[in-house]
Chains A and B, each alone.
Chain A
């Protein structure tokens, strides 16, 4: 089993295979399932992601009414041809938003690595797909590569907002996506690791402060920024830019920051945006309305 990103990259380079392949081989060894069964299982997750993106792009509204409809607005704006930051980037952002709007509406999604951060990986995948035209198998590989990097973070730091703040959720998702985009675009395993490191460095310290405790504000828009961060970092890594701080040390820094983050900023809805006057007013309105 690989314990960190350095080992993961070394394994892939030594065997001259993609990072996805290292993850698949480990999965076979750990579970005892056949390769076909494992691929099929991931294929089903991919289908769930596809359906969630589609549903979100058609427009959904959450039970509280706080979120929904932004993915539709973005798609319209892209089609207007006035967008400044480029089609692929905004497409990724809109599809990340779409997925999280479905999640907030208590719809069916696939956690990547969590539900609150479920937009980033599929959002970037389905946007990059339009440019790179991958096969179905290559799209499944994208998910295994994401899994490999997420696996390291989960075991060496955290993927829980309650334990490590939003840096552990959208931060992890964003780093996973950056690494997978890089690989799909033809980058080396080492470039994937740099993409992950660059992304995560820019997510360090991000707190988990959901308004009214709902996975809506600011979660949906943090997925949007997580997707754009991943796209930018992947392009930087593919351009040959490296992270001065190695990926494993960034992950370790994230863990230590999470450990020292006050409880009010770790998914308790007691600090940050949740504690703003508007955050408190929305909370009172929502739970007054539902009268639980």
Chain B
């Protein structure tokens, strides 16, 4: 089921005018910011489908940038986010894409700073509910509504069981988990949505494991 909570239907509380094109867009931006870990120096935003056609009227542009600035859907600074981004020294670039995507409300966001870059694709499926469907060209499914751990690792035997063992030691229950890889034996990604709060010590323990290259935490 795509929707799980009564508050997906009655909610979110948000700045108008569109739940999918404003609130959903802000949420995708904010998940990108969270996964990046801090405010980027540059953001490239590629809009597809209905996002591309109507972003001006819906404030999709200011909402995504607001999200990247870590604003929630009801933050009254959203309408002025482009100015605020400029003041904060974050360069923003929009591209309207012609390509047809599976979902009409699709955005690709690339974030950069001096050390790293990250790319994700998010879709806004209605009523402010979103899904992240691609991260650094890995296919995945992430709602951004639950605490989650993303583990980038080498595709070797035992890595998954080592990670889940650590979760068990920290008494963390897994709500949803999926693994994907680009190529057999190469880079792979684990997405683990959990029920409990994620401590830094847990993150450190996972990061120390053999064959784990990166651990990212995402908390509601």
Q: Which residues of A contact B (CB under 8 A)?
A: 1, 3, 23-24, 26-27, 30-32, 38, 41-42, 44-45, 48, 102-116, 118, 121, 143-144, 146-148, 150-151, 154-155, 158-163, 168, 176, 210, 212-216, 263, 266-270, 286-287, 290, 292
Q: Which of B9-17, B84-92, B161-169, B207-215 lies on the face that meets chain A?
A: B9-17
The distance in angstroms between the C-alpha atoms of A200 and B33, with both chains bound, is: 39
A62 closest partner in B (C-beta): B17
A105 — which chain B residues lie within 8 A by C-beta?
16
A-B interface contact total, Cβ < 8 Å: 177
B3 closest partner in A (C-beta): A154
Within 8 A of A (CB), among B52-85: 53-59, 74, 76, 78-79
Interface core residue of A30, A102, A159, A163 (most chain B CB under 10 Å): A159
Q: Is the CB of B9 within 8 A of A108?
A: no
Is B34 part of the binding interface, using a Cβ–Cβ cutoff of 8 Å? no
CB distance from A9 to the nearest CB of B (A): 17
Q: Is the CB of A162 within 8 A of B104?
A: yes
Q: Is the CB of B9 within 8 A of A154?
A: yes
A114 — which chain B residues lie within 8 A by C-beta?
18-20, 126-128
Per-residue A-contact encoding for B114-157, CB less than 8 Å = 1, 0 else: 00000000001111110000000000000000000000000000
Q: Is the CB of A111 within 8 A of B12?
A: yes
Q: Is the CB of B6 within 8 A of A148?
A: yes
Is B39 part of the binding interface, using a Cβ–Cβ cutoff of 8 Å? no
List 4 A-B pairs, minimum CB-CB distance, nearest first: A160-B126, A213-B54, A213-B57, A103-B16
Within 8 A of A (CB), among B4-50: 4-23, 49-50
Q: Is the CB of B5 within 8 A of A27?
A: yes
Q: Is the CB of A110 within 8 A of B49?
A: no
The distance in angstroms between the C-alpha atoms of A27 and B6, with both chains bound, is: 7
A155 — which chain B residues lie within 8 A by C-beta?
1-3
**A267-B104 contact given A111-B127, A115-B22, CB 8 Å threshold:** yes
The distance in angstroms between the C-alpha atoms of A30 and B8, with both chains bound, is: 12
With A31-B5, A113-B127, A213-B57 known, 17 other A-B pairs at CB within 8 A are A3-B1, A41-B7, A45-B11, A109-B16, A111-B12, A111-B14, A113-B8, A113-B19, A114-B20, A114-B128, A118-B16, A147-B10, A148-B6, A154-B9, A210-B54, A214-B58, A290-B56
Q: Is the CB of A268 within 8 A of B53?
A: yes
Q: Can you report 11 A-B residue pairs in the complex whose CB atoms are below 8 A from each other?
A: A32-B195, A38-B6, A42-B7, A102-B16, A108-B13, A115-B22, A151-B8, A163-B126, A213-B55, A215-B16, A267-B54
The distance in angstroms between the C-alpha atoms of A24 and B14, with both chains bound, is: 23
Pick the contact of A113: B10, B53, B74, B78 (CB < 8 A): B10
CB distance from A8 to the nearest CB of B (A): 12
Give the size range of B's interface with the partner. 35 or more
B2 closest partner in A (C-beta): A155
The distance in angstroms between the C-alpha atoms of A44 and B105, with both chains bound, is: 29
Pick the contact of A212: B4, B19, B57, B59 (CB < 8 A): B57
B56 — which chain A residues lie within 8 A by C-beta?
213, 287, 290, 292
Pick the contact of B9: A3, A147, A215, A286 (CB < 8 A): A147
A64 closest partner in B (C-beta): B57
Q: Is the CB of B126 within 8 A of A151?
A: no
The distance in angstroms between the C-alpha atoms of A214 and B18, with both chains bound, is: 9
**A23-B6 contact given A111-B14, A160-B126, CB 8 Å threshold:** yes
Q: Is the CB of A30 within 8 A of B5?
A: yes
Q: Is the CB of A214 within 8 A of B17?
A: yes
Q: Is the CB of B17 within 8 A of A267?
A: no
The distance in angstroms between the C-alpha atoms of A210 and B56, with both chains bound, is: 13
A144 closest partner in B (C-beta): B6
CB distance from A174 to the nearest CB of B (A): 14
B14 — which chain A residues lie within 8 A by C-beta?
108-111, 115
The distance in angstroms between the C-alpha atoms of A121 and B12, with both chains bound, is: 14
